[in-house]
């Protein structure tokens, strides 16, 4: 079975999780990992981040996206495909 929750105080665990977010793990620079580490170990920031994540899960807007008429630019990844 699962081993429980990852340890927030373990920098290497946080580093690995941050690297897993990106296709190229090198994008997770020390600066990014440090910021994530600080956030998950700051109780107030962690609670706010979890609240936002839970809200996003509850209100999945996938069905709404085709009906939105507001011009939007989403940048994701290293290369831009036109």
Domain ranges within the chain, ordered by starting residue: 1-82
pTM exceeds cut of 0.85: no
Write down the residue that tokens 């008429």 correspond to.
69
Would you state the pLDDT for residue 37? 96
Q: What does each of the 82 residues of the chain score in pLDDT, given as a tens digit? A: 456 666 778 999 999 999 999 889 999 999 999 999 999 999 999 999 999 989 988 888 888 888 989 887 877 666 656 5
User: The tokens of 44 are what?
Assistant: 């107030």
Would you state the pLDDT for residue 18? 94
DSSP 20-70: HHSSSGGGS-HHHHHHHHHHHTSHHHHHHHHHHHHHHHHT--TTTGGG--S
Would you state the pLDDT for residue 60? 83
């Amino acid at each position: 079975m699962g081993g429980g929750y990852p340890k927030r105080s373990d920098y290497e665990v946080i580093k690995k999780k941050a690297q897993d977010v990106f296709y190229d793990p090198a994008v997770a620079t020390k600066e990014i990992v440090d910021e994530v580490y600080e956030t998950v170990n700051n109780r107030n920031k962690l609670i706010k981040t979890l609240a936002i994540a839970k809200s996003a899960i509850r209100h999945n807007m996938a069905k709404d996206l085709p009906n939105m008429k507001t011009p939007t630019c989403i940048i994701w990844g290293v290369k831009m495909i036109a």
